[in-house]
Each structure stands twice: as C-alpha cells, then as structure tokens.
Structure 1
Amino acid sequence: MITTIIAFIIVFGIIVISHEFGHYYAAKKSGILVREFSVGMGPKLFYFIRNHTTFTLRLLPLGGYVRMAGDADDDEEIKPGTPVSLRLNDDDLVTSINTSNKNSLFQGIPVTVVKTDLENELYVEGYENGDESELKRYSVAHDATIIESDGTEVQIAPVDVQFQSASLPHRMITNVAGVFNNFILTILVFTILAFIQGGVANNSNRVNVTPTDSVARDAGIKNGDRILSVNGVKTTNWNDLATNIQDKAGKKVDLKVQNDKQTKNNFLNP
C-alpha cells in the first residue's frame, strides 16, 4: 500500500511538473512574468528564486501551479493600514516590501501603508514609523519583490510583464503549452518503455529477448535472431509473427530462426 502511494505521488508529480513547466517555458518566452512555480499545494516547505521566478515546494503532493503576473488568481493588493517594512537601495528605490509578520526576514523602514500602485506608477505611500504628520511616497523598482503573509518572496507584477500585455498568439500558446508538454511526455515514456521491455520491432522480425522472456530463451532464441517462419508460414514483421503464434497456446510451434552464423529450427511452447 505504501509503495503504491509513493509510486502514485512520483508519477503524479512528474505529470504535474511537466504540465506546469510547459506553461512556465511558454510564458517566459512570451515575456510574461512567472511569479511562482509551485510543486504541491498548501503550506510551503521551502523556496528559492531564480530568473525572477520563485520556485516553491509545498506540503501536499496533490498538484501544483504556475502563477503568472496578471492572472485572475494573482492578487497582491496591499490594503490601507497594512504595516510593512521597506528595503531601499542606494538610489532610494524600494527593492523589497515585507508584508509578513515574520519580522526577522529583514530589517527595513517600517511604514503604515496608505496607498500603493505596484503595476503602473510603482510606488508606496504611507506613514514612516507611525508618524502621521507626514505622508511619504517611496518609488518602487521594476524588479522589486514582495514578501507575502506566509513568508514567500515573489516579484511584483508591473503591467508590462502581465499576461494581458502579451500578444494574443503568445497568450494562446502559453495556455495550451501544458497539455502539449504532457503529450510529449507520453510519447517519451512509451518510447523508453519500448526499449526497456524489449520485444520485436513492428517493422522487423528481429527479436530482442529480455531476461523475463523465459519461453523464448528456453527455445534457444537469442537477441538479434530473426524469426523467418512459424510452422512453415513466412514471417517478415511483428504482425505476421503475432498472428501466427496467438492461436497456438499450449501447442509446440516450429520456428525457423536465423542468426549471424546459421539458420535453424527451434521449437517454442507458448
């Protein structure tokens, strides 16, 4: 039971990662900011940031998602009255906004938010250190990050890198890229399984015997042998061979086998 569950999680995880990577890759190529690439759902276990995308591993292995800038589910509104900490660079541009109550994340300028615009004008307005006598306005860098309530750090989503700003063809490709990636994965998996499991190629009568093919091995058939005929009936490909053997269960079958050195008759008990 445990083995089955683990196998399911691994297989499902591969399918999810493949699907979401299709969306991720197409979005990146289309100039759409992918704010988060998540494997799993629920509380995060850990994350790292690379190429402006936050990659997270979450507790529940029941799916995943790609969070694109401007998506319907992508909401980063900072409500008035929210206490935040701002990190500024040498040019006095905000490079990170901490909205989490995990104050240990970094030491910044404490501000009580009055108004923000992180899509167009890129600014934060508020009262510094609780001083309501002076409303201050801080300019925000285009590539600034925001630390959300759960402690996950993602990039802000200026309008020029949002999903809606991409061309229609790019948006369409991004939407279908996940399914396309799963299609490619299916072809790849079946190709690998075909090599692993062995057998006879569809357009050939050459045999590839695996360690589990005890019947073929008992009949003296080896890798690379060609099955020329079954009970005197000529076979040139896998379909011919399968057709002539399938109704011979429990009966002795006379196979004419050719290898690199000679042609001989072998008897098979399917």
Structure 2
Amino acid sequence: MQTAIAFIVIFGLLVFFHELGHFIFAKRAGIMVREFAIGMGPKIYGKTHGETIYTLRLLPIGGYVRMAGEDMDGTELQPGYRVGLIVNEDNIVQKIIFNQNNRQVPDLLFLEVERADLEKDLFVEGYDEEENLVRYTVARNCILVENGKETLIAPYDRQFNAKTVGQRAMAIFAGPLFNFILAFVIYVLIGLLNGVPTNEPIITDVVPDRPAAQAGMLEGDRVTAIDGQAIQTWEDLVSVIQSKPGETIDMTFERNGQVEQVALTVKAVTDSGGNTYGQIGVTSPRVHNPLKAVVYGGEQTYHMTKEIFRLLGLLVTGGFHLDDLSGPVGIYKTTETVTAWGIFALMNFAAMLSINLGIMNLLPLPALDGGRLLFFGFEAVRGKPVDRQKEGMVHFVGIVLLMILMVVVTWNDIQRFFF
C-alpha cells in the first residue's frame, strides 16, 4: 500500500506540474482552456471553475490540458437546425439549445438556422416562428447546450490556432519546462531539509549491521585511501565502493589525527533494473545553508539532465537497448525499492523522473511536445502552417507507435519482474 501511494503521489505531482505549465502559458496567451485533467480514461471527479473544468481521471498514467480550437473542438450550427435561444435585455444571445426537447425550457426564442458564425462575427440568423428572417448577435461567453451538455463557445481570438507561433510554442514548451522547474525545487528542498553534501570523504553516519559498522568505522572518520588508491572527495569514495560489489577491500582512514586501516567486505546490491553495485552503509557530510541548497538544486538538475542525455545517446548508438527501458511496471517496482530507502531517496527519484519526463516530451517525435514544437519550427521557416489534417495524421501515427512501444516495454517489465 505504501508503494502504491508513493507511486500515485509521484506520478500525480509530475503530471500536475507538466500540465500546469501548459495551462499557465496558455492562459497568459489568452487561449481558452476547456479542461485540466490529471490521469487518463474515465472521469471520476470534475469541478468547473470559470471556463475550465478540472477533472481527475481513473488511470494515473498521464494527463492533458484541452485548449479551445484543438481536436475538432468547435461546434457548428448547420442550416436547417432548429434551436432555442435565450437572449438578454439587449437581444444578445446568451444560450443556444439544440438536439433536445426545447419545449421543456421556458422563455425560448425558436429559430430555424439559415446562417451562423460562432467564432469570428458571432451571429446567428434564421427564421422565427412567424417565418420572419431575423438575426441575433451572439455573446462572447454564449453557452451551447447540446443534449443537455453545456459548452462555452470559443471566439476565434481565444483559440489555440489564432495565436502567434511564439505563443503556441511557449504554451507547449512550458509543460516540459515545468518538469525541470519541479526537479530543481525538489533538489532545493532536499538541500534545505537534509543538508548539502560537502564532497569531503568524511563519514557522518554509519548504518548498523552494514559492512562499515561491522568493521568498526565511526562517525567523523576521514577516508584517505581504498586498496592503496587515494581518496580525495566523497565522489571518489562512492565511485570506488560501487565498483567493488562483493569484494573485500582495505580502507585507510584518519581518526583523531591517527591513521588506521580496516578490511571489510562490500555489500552487493542489485537494483530493479538488474544492475549490481557496492555499498558499505555510510553517509556523507552535509551542511544546512539556504544559498548552498539553491546552488545544489541547480547542480543536481544539470547533472541529472546531462546523464539522461548520455543514456539517450547510448540508446541511439546501441549501448543501451530497448530491453533496458522501463514502463509503468518497472517504475512501480523501482518505487517499491526506493520507498524502503527513505523520504529523501524518494524525493531524489521523483526529481529524476521529472527531468526524464521533461526530456522525453521534448524529443522531436510525433504526438510528443517536441514533435509539435518541430511543426511550429516548420511554420516559422515557411511563413505558413503545415496542413492541419496532415499534421494531425502524423501525430495520430505517432500516438499509435508510442502505444505499441508502451505495450512492448510493459511486457518486458512483466517478464523481468514476475517470470
């Protein structure tokens, strides 16, 4: 249960910040946001505030911000439609009702539509019950009611495609950007709450019943060498220890001005990805300083970003294989392992996942944010947008391929962990 809660909280946080980026910059550009969704699949909760419905959906594997003008968003009133209108004292249409029993709604003006424009000119024209041709101005915040479902109209200037290339690109780029911001904030919080590592090879805590404790090492010991190899930083210490799982090593250290040496056997630890590394059960020295915590947040975000790009490079060159990738099942199993290591390990894991999500979404692949940004780049160079239907088909194919990849990766995870 603890793992499930941690998994849902982490994924919910990552998705929330990603979609929050899209949402904030879409609103800044004047784009109407119809829905802010956390999760995918059937809706289990929804709350409308202003022009946006905020929903929580069943499957905690994603989310979306639905902007006006995207994905066949608009509703057209075709000639011949019989509609009911609710108008204000200035005869401006506030609500248009169709495809339902309009006789049940009082104070309606009935109209057989001849022409209508609910995006630019904002009018509806048609024949009333006396067969007179009449024309009404439609309010910018007019509500369409179809089969009992209410939808706010979106004037063209409030739609996604009406905005400049820069505004649209920023609304899309802001999602991955906020994932990097989230990772930075998490790392800063770690630095504030747990302290910032000083990188000195000084032991500040010895975990009971681990190799270091069993060998008699104590808090304050300064490691100077391992198997004769000089140790100058904590990174040196970690690198050597992790490279010697299961081996017996000679560790030289200073204690109260005296040089001492012990032999200990490094514990072999295997992570959920099948990688084995060494541990001896010690932690590094840390300082609590707000300014250093901010610097630490920036450094950790940079280093993790660099590492993920390195792994992507290995994927391209063949040094990293499809079987090494993890999907939701693999991430869940890793969450199970990391949860046992404590809250700060879990926070580190969440920051890494957030950076990973940001980078993956920026890849120039169809259906991802990076793919959409690529099309905006083409539009900026050409001076006109790519045909919407062709772009939509490319993204559709991309979604299908991503779903296939997800199935393959998930199946690999299931075989790796359960068979």
Same fold (TM over 0.5): yes
Matched to 1:229, the amino acid is T
Contact in 1 for aligned 2:18/2:179 (Cα 8 Å): yes
The yes-or-no answer on 1:121 pairing with 2:121 is: yes
Say if 1:217 and 1:80 are closer, same or farther in 2 by CA, change over 3 A: farther
Give 1:236 deviation, angstroms: 2.8
| Residues 33-73 of structure 1: per-residue CA shift (max 9 Å, x gap) | 22222334455444333343232334555543322222243
> Residue 232 of structure 2 aligns with which residue?
236
Residue 169 of structure 2 aligns to a residue whose secondary structure is helix
Matched to 1:238, the amino acid is W
| Distance in 2 (alpha carbons) for counterparts of 1:202 and 1:134 | 83
The yes-or-no answer on 1:32 pairing with 2:31 is: yes
Say if 1:121 and 1:61 are closer, same or farther in 2 by CA, change over 3 A: same
Matched to 1:116, the amino acid is A
| Residues 198-247 of structure 1: per-residue CA shift (max 9 Å, x gap) | 8994833244648688444554544xx46342357553312321344343
Residue 17 of structure 1 aligns to a residue whose secondary structure is helix
> Residue 55 of structure 1 aligns with which residue?
54
> Residue 141 of structure 2 aligns with which residue?
143
| Distance in 2 (alpha carbons) for counterparts of 1:108 and 1:235 | 85
Say if 1:89 and 1:171 are closer, same or farther in 2 by CA, change over 3 A: same
The yes-or-no answer on 1:160 pairing with 2:157 is: yes
* TM-score scaled by length of structure 1: 0.69
> Residue 77 of structure 1 aligns with which residue?
76
| Distance in 2 (alpha carbons) for counterparts of 1:83 and 1:42 | 34
1:105-116 mapped onto 2 (5 Å cutoff): 109=108, 111-114=110-113, 115-116=115-116
For the pair shown, which has the larger CA radius of gyration, 1 or 2?
A: 1
Give 1:162 deviation, angstroms: 2.0
| Distance in 2 (alpha carbons) for counterparts of 1:165 and 1:79 | 23
Contact in 2 for aligned 1:209/1:217 (Cα 8 Å): no
| Distance in 2 (alpha carbons) for counterparts of 1:229 and 1:8 | 40
| Distance in 2 (alpha carbons) for counterparts of 1:45 and 1:188 | 30
Matched to 2:124, the amino acid is V
Contact in 2 for aligned 1:45/1:57 (Cα 8 Å): yes
Contact in 2 for aligned 1:228/1:255 (Cα 8 Å): yes
Give 1:254 deviation, angstroms: 3.5
> Residue 179 of structure 1 aligns with which residue?
176
Give 1:119 deviation, angstroms: 0.8
The yes-or-no answer on 1:170 pairing with 2:167 is: yes
Contact in 1 for aligned 2:141/2:153 (Cα 8 Å): yes
Residue 240 of structure 1 aligns to a residue whose secondary structure is helix
The structure richer in strand per residue is 1
Larger deviation, residues 137-146 vs 200-209: 200-209
Unmatched runs of 5 consecutive residues or more in structure 2:
267-419
Matched to 1:94, the amino acid is V
The yes-or-no answer on 1:204 pairing with 2:190 is: no
| Residues 96-127 of structure 1: per-residue CA shift (max 9 Å, x gap) | 34457598x98662645513311112123456
| Distance in 2 (alpha carbons) for counterparts of 1:204 and 1:112 | 80
> Residue 133 of structure 1 aligns with which residue?
131
Residues paired across the two proteins, number: 258
Contact in 2 for aligned 1:79/1:113 (Cα 8 Å): no
Contact in 2 for aligned 1:41/1:62 (Cα 8 Å): yes
Within the candidate set 222, 237, 241, 1:227 is matched to 222
Give 1:154 deviation, angstroms: 3.9
Larger deviation, residues 110-119 vs 244-253: 244-253
> Residue 346 of structure 2 aligns with which residue?
none
> Residue 63 of structure 2 aligns with which residue?
64
| Distance in 2 (alpha carbons) for counterparts of 1:242 and 1:14 | 30
1:252-267 mapped onto 2 (5 Å cutoff): 253-256=250-253, 262=256, 265=260, 267=262
Give 1:269 deviation, angstroms: 4.2
Contact in 1 for aligned 2:98/2:146 (Cα 8 Å): yes
| Distance in 2 (alpha carbons) for counterparts of 1:83 and 1:266 | 92
Residue 71 of structure 1 aligns to a residue whose secondary structure is coil
| Residues 65-99 of structure 1: per-residue CA shift (max 9 Å, x gap) | 32222224322223344455544444443333445
Give 1:135 deviation, angstroms: 4.4
Contact in 1 for aligned 2:74/2:154 (Cα 8 Å): no
Matched-pair identity in %: 36
| Distance in 2 (alpha carbons) for counterparts of 1:68 and 1:237 | 51
C-alpha RMSD of the superposition: 4.3
